[in-house]
């Protein structure tokens, strides 16, 4: 990208804690065992960030297995590398950083069935887009455990039941889109005091 090694900045993490920052072709040597990963930036290509491939968080991996099995994964339009031994970063629709899933985007991918309760284990995930599928059943209340969640789009499905009261627990909710489902009941009270910038509930009951 026109840069040079001297303009590289390497940020080394142990688990999620920054432990060292190196520039150029400096070497990082760790002194204690653990799960290490690196992010690389360059002052020339300022919008490009490279991430090392790290072993996926087990609870994230298991949640994705549950999602695949409960939404007819073999029938998806695109299920590239799902349930394969390849790194989670290569599974279609998943973005991962330092071993944690940060984005799950399976829009219009022929998912049918129910959203598993274990989706509430993706505690580092900021974006979940599952719109335009054939999802049925209720929205798991466990989604209220996703304290990093910023954007949730479950529109254009066949979801029923109520909006979980646990959604009030998500501190930085930005956009919630539940349009074109079969939801009933009332809107959680605390939505009025949340950080929501957009709430779409049209075409429900």
What's the pLDDT band for 194 if we cut at 50, 70, 90?
low
**CA-CA distance, 205 to 187, in Å (whole number)?**
12
**CA-CA distance, 68 to 184, in Å (whole number)?**
27
3-state secondary structure of 158: strand
pLDDT digits (tens, 9 = 90+) for 160-184: 999 999 998 888 888 999 999 999 9
Query: What per-residue confidence (pLDDT) applies to 56?
Result: 73
Contact by Cβ (8 Å): 150, 126: yes
Among 166, 124, 111, 177, smallest CA distance to 143 is for 166
**CA-CA distance, 124 to 104, in Å (whole number)?**
11
Tell me the Cα Rg of the chain. Answer: 19
Contact by Cβ (8 Å): 178, 186: no
Q: What is the pTM of this model?
A: 0.82
pLDDT digits (tens, 9 = 90+) for 12-69: 988 778 999 998 878 888 888 878 888 899 888 888 888 887 777 788 999 999 999 9
The residue ranking higher by pLDDT, 24 or 120, is 120
Q: Answer whether residue 2 shows pLDDT above 70.
A: no
Among 170, 179, 165, smallest CA distance to 150 is for 170
pLDDT digits (tens, 9 = 90+) for 182-193: 999 988 877 655
Q: What is the largest CA-CA distance in the chain?
A: 60
Among 66, 143, 146, 141, smallest CA distance to 111 is for 66
Contact by Cβ (8 Å): 123, 148: yes
């Amino acid at each position: 990208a026109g840069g040079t090694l001297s303009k590289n900045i390497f940020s080394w993490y142990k688990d999620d804690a920054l432990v060292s920052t190196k520039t150029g072709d400096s070497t990082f040597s760790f002194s204690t065992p653990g799960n290490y990963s690196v992010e690389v930036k360059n002052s020339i290509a300022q919008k490009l960030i490279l991430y090392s491939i790290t072993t996926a968080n087990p609870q994230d991996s298991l949640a994705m297995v549950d999602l695949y099995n409960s939404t007819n994964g073999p029938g998806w339009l695109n299920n590239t590398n799902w349930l394969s031994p390849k790194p989670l970063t290569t599974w279609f629709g998943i973005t991962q950083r330092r071993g944690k899933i940060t984005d799950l985007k399976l829009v219009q991918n022929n998912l049918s069935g129910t959203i598993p309760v274990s989706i509430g284990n993706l505690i580092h995930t900021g974006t979940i887009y599952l719109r335009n599928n054939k999802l049925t059943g209720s929205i798991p209340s466990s989604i209220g455990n996703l304290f990093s969640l910023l954007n949730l789009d479950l529109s254009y499905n066949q979801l029923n039941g109520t909006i979980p009261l646990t959604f009030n627990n998500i501190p930085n909710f930005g956009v919630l889109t539940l349009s074109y489902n079969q939801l009933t009941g009332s809107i959680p009270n605390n939505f009025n005091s949340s950080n929501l910038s957009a709430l779409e509930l049209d075409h429900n009951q």
